[in-house]
Amino acid sequence: MKYVIIGAVAGGASAAARLRRLNEKAEIVIFEKGEYISYANCGLPYYIGNVIKDRNELFVQTASAFNSRFNIDVRTLTEVTAIDVENKTVTAFNQITGLTYTESYDKLVLSPGAEPMRPPLPGIQNNGIFTLRNVNDTDYIKAYVNQEKVKNVVIIGAGFIGLEMAENLHEIGLNVTIIEMGNQILAPLDLPLAAIVQQHILSKGVGLKLNTAVTGFEKENQVLKVILNNGEVLETDTVIMSIGVKPDTKLATMAGLKLGAAKGIWVNEFLQTSNPDVYAVGDAIEFTNPISKNSMNTYLAGPANKQGRICANNIVLGNKQTYKGAINTAIVKVFDMTVAATGMASKHLTLNKIEHIVSTTHNGSHAGYYPGAQQMTIQLAFSPNNGELYGAQIVGFEGVDKRIDVLSAAITQGNTIFDLTNFEHAYAPPFSSAKDPINIAAFVAENILLKKHKVFYVNEIHNLPENAILLDVRTALEFAENRITNAINIPLDNLRTRLNELDKNNTIYLYCLGGQRGYLAQQILTQNGFENTFNLSGGFKLYQSFN
């Protein structure tokens, strides 16, 4: 049996290694058009920023080591230019020798990855404008920054890679400006949580221009000019394009393989393409989103590696193991802050016409009496019918990673808000509280779901009914320092003795700093005959970031 694999980074390398473990006698050939295999894409910005100082640390495996360990014929700098599915051959071009030849296969695995978007803007070919996708890109950027003594950089696109590049270039002393065409950074997040991160970025002295598009580039006396759609022109030394990627489907298209609605390579639940002898994994494929049931792509290393293993199992053992899709669980470090998301954002649930409720809470990363506890904000999106969890987002500093992993597992298993209220965690003061932030988030969500807690949201604050009362239940000192326009103040601890100041016929919108005091005030009012009360989800803390 002969297996041929195209692409040797995440999914391809994973499939190759698994194929060998399952079949010691098979002939395995892996083609990689680049110079390197199985390298850490996610580590590239940190090498540029000197966090990873040794370039060799980026390589999980070298071609020679992979060959020695797994007895796999690794052919780097060799690009597959065509696939003949009828005759089961691929055409390969050796970039070193210039030789073109064909290679036969019994089973073929496609793992071509994705390619960075580089729109045909005027002047985009100027020297000093880069994309970051592979090791060579990293080398070019690092060398250019050092040799040209770069001081200013413009990063176009505020996704995960764009923000990682912003942090790392800022940390080595560059003046950084981020330009984002959308109204927020980090598209997987909803705006209120993205706004928290935006404030953090600005606090570091990094420029951030939202709702701004680049229309072209010019270069004059070694100075790059970035032309914006608002007429502004930014002068800089270099530009990093980070506006996203798209599935590399050129080979699949030429071979007549089916593409899907998301413009990726179509695969079935066994990761098999429209040709039974060709499988595909990684960034180039599309699959059914477990929540929306629509086709989607994902550009994450975790799913690609898992797909490689499943694909190999199905090739050798027969189509028995199904791929259940991915929910795009992701995490990113943004300076001191950690930002994570899993499942679907509220805005994407709305686009897919999936009914849902949103709840936002703030809690310490561990017990407040133990030194060093830091605040984290958790947003949950869940079904109004049975409480099934659809999505979660966390912005904080310490402990974000372990909470998002728990919530990812909950979504994957179809768990509900009620399940999370009973989530049992490891507790000791340095690590958590007796009630973990996940428990607290679930308690609040459960109250909303059971209609024990009626909420309103920060985007509604400026459109309240004309005769509504906006009631701040924080202390008088907090109210004097900063407040929402048109709010009146009755501190929570004085509320029971001042109920006569409020009209039961009016709708009352409550808020406090984080939401807890507002909820307690709502219970007092409700049980004293005030029927129309709503508490601000996420409280004044979220409002301040959003506004």
Q: Report which of 177, 130, 129 is spatially closest to residue 152, judged by C-alpha positions.
A: 177
C-alpha–C-alpha distance, residues 486 and 471, integer Å: 9
Beta-carbon contacts of residue 348 (< 8 Å; ≥ 6 apart): 292, 391
Question: Residue 31's beta-bridge partner residues?
Answer: 6, 75
Assess whether 512 carries a catalytic annotation.
no
The SS3 call for residue 309 is helix
- Pairing outcome for strands 337-343 and 389-396: antiparallel
DSSP H helices, 49-181, are: 63-70, 135-147, 160-171
Beta-carbon contacts of residue 431 (< 8 Å; ≥ 6 apart): 366, 399
C-alpha–C-alpha distance, residues 23 and 29, integer Å: 13
The SS3 call for residue 327 is coil
Q: Give the torsion sign (CA, 457, 459, 462, 463).
A: negative
Residue 334 exposed, middle or buried by CB count within 10 Å (0-12, 13-18, 19+): buried
The SS3 call for residue 177 is strand
Helix (H), strand (E) counts: the chain: 15, 31
> What is the full DSSP assignment across 42-62?
GGHHHHHTTSS--GGGGBS--
Unique residue bearing structure tokens 């959308």? 182
Beta-carbon contacts of residue 390 (< 8 Å; ≥ 6 apart): 291, 343, 344, 349, 354, 356, 381, 382, 383, 411
Beta-carbon contacts of residue 439 (< 8 Å; ≥ 6 apart): 420, 421, 423, 425
Residue 304 exposed, middle or buried by CB count within 10 Å (0-12, 13-18, 19+): buried
The dihedral formed by the CA atoms of 251, 254, 256 and 260, expressed in degrees to the nearest 10: 60
C-alpha–C-alpha distance, residues 218 and 224, integer Å: 6
Q: Report which of 269, 263, 278 is spatially closest to residue 5, judged by C-alpha positions.
A: 278
Q: Which of 42, 65, 124, 354 is catalytic?
A: 42
Three-state secondary structure string covering 225-248? EEEECCCCEEEECEEEECCCEEEC
CA-CA distances (angstroms) from residue 471 to 424, 475, 485, 511, 523?
Answer: 36, 12, 11, 6, 14
* Active site positions, annotated: 42
